[in-house]
Structure 1
Amino acid sequence: MTHRSFRTLAPLAAIFGLAVCAPAGAQGTVNLAPRAAPGATEAAASPALAARIDAILERPSLRAAEWGIEVRDAGSGRLLYSRGAARPFIPASNLKLLVTTTAAHHLDPGYRYRTTLYGTGPVRGGVLEGDLVLYGRGDPLISTRYGGPEAGVWEALADSLRARGVRRVSGGVVADDSYFEAEHVRADWDPYDLRWWYAAPVGALGYDDNSVEVQVEPGAVGARPRVSWTPHSEYVAVENAATTVGVGSPATADLERVPGPRAGIRVYGNVPARSGADVEFFAVPSGAEYAGVTFREALERKGIAVGRREVRVVADSTRSPARGATVLAEHWSDPLPRVIAPILLKSQNWIAETLLKTVGREVRGQGSWDAGIAVEREFLTRVVGIDSADLTLRDGSGLSDRNRVTPRAFVRLLGYVRATPAMAVVRQSLPVSGREGSLRARLTDLPGRVAAKTGYIGGVDSLSGWVTTDDGRTVIFSILANRTQQPSTRIKAGIDDVVRAIAATPAE
């Protein structure tokens, strides 16, 4: 598998488009732009913009929040506005800019994940005499939610086995998850979040974002609502304990995990009549077992019998049955851009966390959060030139409220993204105002003029990217709001008005 070596650290002038610029991919020493002395501040160059933004942030719905903002002209690098820009803020999903740029730096655009089927014994007379090992290396695209028929990868692997003459497995399916670490969720993720797709367990082997799609629709008043789910697998068991109540009654329905070895889900609470369907994505307890069971079911649908129904999960690489086993079939994922796109466009947490572990494995030989974060920090400080004090990192998605990044760090990173050819996949995957991704319904009065990453967790809203101004300039910004004490819709509206102010203020 190919990966890039560290690129040279570009000076600030080169990052923001000035004449001094090293050739793309050039190696060697480039002099750094001098950093400000501790405690020094850079004067903002646009009093008119400052007046507009300050007026917005003084609105009653916005003034109680803690704001961190930096705005720079992409062409000149001039600072146009700054408020708390050197202070670390909780970034929410703006953090995904870090893992995607790190991956774009280290991994070739043609990088693909490989999932392998191994046999632990010989194939004789159509029988695999041993176990069938499903060995994952972190492919996050084995999913029905990103194109292709349900279980398409599993079906294709089963077809490959049949093409080799395999009609029965004397042993069983082993789900080998040992390519990554055994820590599947971060200790500081909120326990309630662990129920849902955005905090699903992160391992080397998974399926369908490691979550189950559950749909709840009202039934007759006093009766159970209609509950359906996908995939239909013996790994998933859903208990319907909810009640349909009268029109206009409070909606209290929720999902909870039922203790047990597999994905037990209980639907409870009240569903008002005529309230429409509610679709939720509930995280499974074990991504590897989920993958193994759904793969075994695909084998059976294809006419390949499996002797042992129980799927065995292996998490210890020293005990991996793939060692010395025979390769029977392989699946190669789509290339890296297909992985980065849903992380930035749709803010897909699970894929972001998987990519972070992938970077750790490829660069440092360890598929862990710690290794991935170490690679991130090295790239951001050595290559992009961000001060290490501007970064406190706990995960790849921004779900942890212990992550901290300064607005100035985001602006410097975005300048690097705009100036560096290898970052094209990041530029092309950003949400676009009024057109694509999580900005499709925002800033529709500036269609196509804003490309930025959105972010939200409780009490935090963020937006970092660039905007084309009314007079044709490109301006880079990072807007982070913490301790908002208001509904997210109000904070987002304020953030969008700040972007409109940036777009409308002419150069001075």
Structure 2
Amino acid sequence: MRGKVLAGILVPAVVIVGAGGYAWADAQDIVPGWITAAPVPVAPAPFLTAVPVEPSPAPASAVSLVTADAPVPSASVVQSLAAEVRADERTGESTNVSVVDALTGEVYADVDAAEVQVPASTTKVLTAVGAVADLGPDHRMTTAVTWDPSGRVLTLVAGGDMLLAADAGHGGAGEDANGWAGMGDLARDVVETLGDGVSGEVELRVDDSAFAGPAVNPDWPQYALDLGYVAPASGLAVNIARMTDEHYAQRFDDPSLAAGDVLASRLSEAGLSVGEPERGVSPASAVEVAAVQGAPLSEVAYLLLRDSDNTIAEIVGRVHALETGRATTPTGAAAATIAGLASIGAPVDGLVLNDGAGFSEDNRIAPAHLTGAIVAGLAAEPTEDLLDWLPVGGLEGTVASRYADTDAAGALRAKTGSLTGVTALAGTVQTADGRLLAFAVLADGMPYGQERPRAAMDELVLALAGCGCEG
């Protein structure tokens, strides 16, 4: 396991700096638009994604190996740094902190680290770790088509993949989970399997009955659907149900049926006449005539953490529930996540989950839950490549434009979280002495706005990254 951890810690030799216009400001949470009790003049955007930016060289200190022999920091120094975050006027008494050794679990700082609070999008770390712990990094979601010759019925059967391409999938050549498998592949395989023995129009059904739902989590705010921050987790979609190629595009109300429309077009192009797709179940007498498999779950985990993708986080939880014999509901997904975490020894006492993405304000996660999941994940075989999934500071995801030209650039791997009144950051950081630390800082009950509390948290990260505080 350690060999893989060491490989995962090698950081790229470039970091991302700069950005353009509103997209950068949005990714930084410094424009208006978070959830608020009073009406706001602009749309809220608590879940964010990275934008294209220009590279510049990383500091040499960012490129190094982490080993168990690296000097251990002084717990008293790290505890003092953590306490300063809570004492900072930009945060407050609701700020709780956990800093532990990522390889041994030794506690270096505990500021009410076991106290649960609203975690926002750091929830996704637990969703990803719990699912991979149970299902394994190589688990793949299968989308199938069945054929019932007696009723002349083709059925598109959902298997959880909401990252399908509209035509041919790239099969990994595109190095991204989105578009790994495609509707065009399914259509061509269907026509090849059926051959010339089918003439005239056939019926096309869409069957996502394996996903009981509700597809729209009751804890999600309506604005999230209206503004394209999330799609119904139906178990089947092309490009996460986006209507356009924009990251926060409007989503189809019925992603599964919209995917059926795409398959109908691909089948028609391949020479098979099909009717307009309708919802239904695959007949008992039907046989499978085509199937495609999506990206390995490890690649899906990387995408959902890198892009902070709410829909994929939610559907990963539902697929986790399905594959472990639980109800494909928010409750079933939460139970699956908690059980997956417990299976690798991550702490779960007091953990409350209502969605996989972190939109729910009723989720309750403690900083120690997050650092505990990271430590347990690195130590367990299924999740030992966890560091490869977390976005790199100054390079990827919602930390792409943070930490540029600092000791944390390339040395940090972390997931952000933001809702109105909630600011969070959880991940790992390598000290100047080469020690890998797992940390989590959560603050809820904050004033409106993200810039001030995030700046205070960043100061802690920078202090840890530059720490030569050997005990």
- Shorter-chain TM range is 0.7 to 0.9
> Which of these residues, 95, 99, 102, is aligned with residue 71 of structure 1?
99
> Which of these residues, 241, 245, 251, is aligned with residue 283 of structure 1?
251
> Which of these residues, 434, 445, 455, is aligned with residue 483 of structure 1?
445
CA distance in 2, matches of 1:402, 1:473: 35
**Secondary structure at the counterpart of residue 423 of structure 1:** coil
**Secondary structure at the counterpart of residue 69 of structure 1:** strand
TM-score under structure 2 length normalisation: 0.76
Alpha-carbon distance change, 18 to 440 in structure 1, aligned in 2, over 3 angstroms = closer
Q: Which has the higher contact order (CA 8 A, sep 6+)?
A: 2
Q: For 1:43-442, what aligned pairs fall within 5 Å after superposition?
A: 46-63=75-92, 66-74=94-102, 77-121=105-149, 130-143=152-165, 153-163=182-192, 164-165=194-195, 168=199, 170-213=201-244, 280-306=248-274, 308-309=275-276, 311-314=277-280, 320-381=281-342, 383-389=344-350, 391-442=351-402
Q: CA deviation at 1:471?
A: 1.9
Does structure 1 retain, via aligned residues, the 8 Å contact 2:163–2:237?
no
**Secondary structure at the counterpart of residue 160 of structure 1:** helix
**Secondary structure at the counterpart of residue 180 of structure 1:** coil
Does structure 1 retain, via aligned residues, the 8 Å contact 2:137–2:383?
no
The amino acid of 1:295's aligned partner reads L
Bigger fraction of residues in strand: 1
Q: Could you tell which deviates more after superposition, 72-81 or 467-476?
A: 72-81
The amino acid of 2:101's aligned partner reads D
Does structure 1 retain, via aligned residues, the 8 Å contact 2:96–2:111?
yes
Does structure 2 retain, via aligned residues, the 8 Å contact 1:197–1:209?
no
Q: CA deviation at 1:198?
A: 3.1
Gap regions ≥5 residues in structure 2: 1-66
Two-structure CA RMSD over aligned residues (Å): 2.8
Q: CA deviation at 1:130?
A: 1.5
Alpha-carbon distance change, 108 to 504 in structure 1, aligned in 2, over 3 angstroms = closer
Identity %: 25
Alignment deviations for residues 450-505 of structure 1 (CA, whole Å, 9 cap, x no partner): 11222222322211111111222222211112122142233222211111122234
Does structure 1 retain, via aligned residues, the 8 Å contact 2:219–2:360?
yes
The answer on 1:473 being equivalent to 2:441 is: no
Does structure 2 retain, via aligned residues, the 8 Å contact 1:53–1:501?
no
**Secondary structure at the counterpart of residue 249 of structure 2:** strand
CA distance in 2, matches of 1:304, 1:77: 59
**Secondary structure at the counterpart of residue 262 of structure 2:** helix
Does structure 1 retain, via aligned residues, the 8 Å contact 2:213–2:328?
no
Q: CA deviation at 1:88?
A: 0.7
The answer on 1:455 being equivalent to 2:417 is: yes
CA distance in 1, matches of 2:180, 2:85: 49
The amino acid of 1:426's aligned partner reads L
What is the aligned partner in structure 2 of residue 236 from structure 1? none
Does structure 2 retain, via aligned residues, the 8 Å contact 1:71–1:81?
yes
What is the aligned partner in structure 1 of residue 22 from structure 2? none
The amino acid of 1:351's aligned partner reads I
**Secondary structure at the counterpart of residue 200 of structure 1:** coil
Does structure 2 retain, via aligned residues, the 8 Å contact 1:360–1:369?
no
Q: CA deviation at 1:83?
A: 1.9
CA distance in 2, matches of 1:184, 1:337: 23
Does structure 2 retain, via aligned residues, the 8 Å contact 1:66–1:483?
yes
Q: CA deviation at 1:75?
A: 5.1
CA distance in 2, matches of 1:54, 1:151: 45
**Secondary structure at the counterpart of residue 480 of structure 1:** strand
CA distance in 2, matches of 1:180, 1:438: 30
Alignment deviations for residues 291-336 of structure 1 (CA, whole Å, 9 cap, x no partner): 1112112222333222x32x2113xxxxx23422122211122322
User: Across the two proteins, how many residue pairs are aligned to each other?
Assistant: 390
The amino acid of 1:136's aligned partner reads A
CA distance in 2, matches of 1:85, 1:179: 38
Q: Could you tell which deviates more after superposition, 362-371 or 175-184?
A: 362-371
Q: CA deviation at 1:78?
A: 3.6
Alpha-carbon distance change, 144 to 430 in structure 1, aligned in 2, over 3 angstroms = farther
Alpha-carbon distance change, 112 to 461 in structure 1, aligned in 2, over 3 angstroms = same
**Secondary structure at the counterpart of residue 497 of structure 1:** helix
CA distance in 1, matches of 2:239, 2:160: 13
Alignment deviations for residues 17-67 of structure 1 (CA, whole Å, 9 cap, x no partner): 999xxxxxxxxxxxxxxxxxxxxxxxx96443344444454444334x721
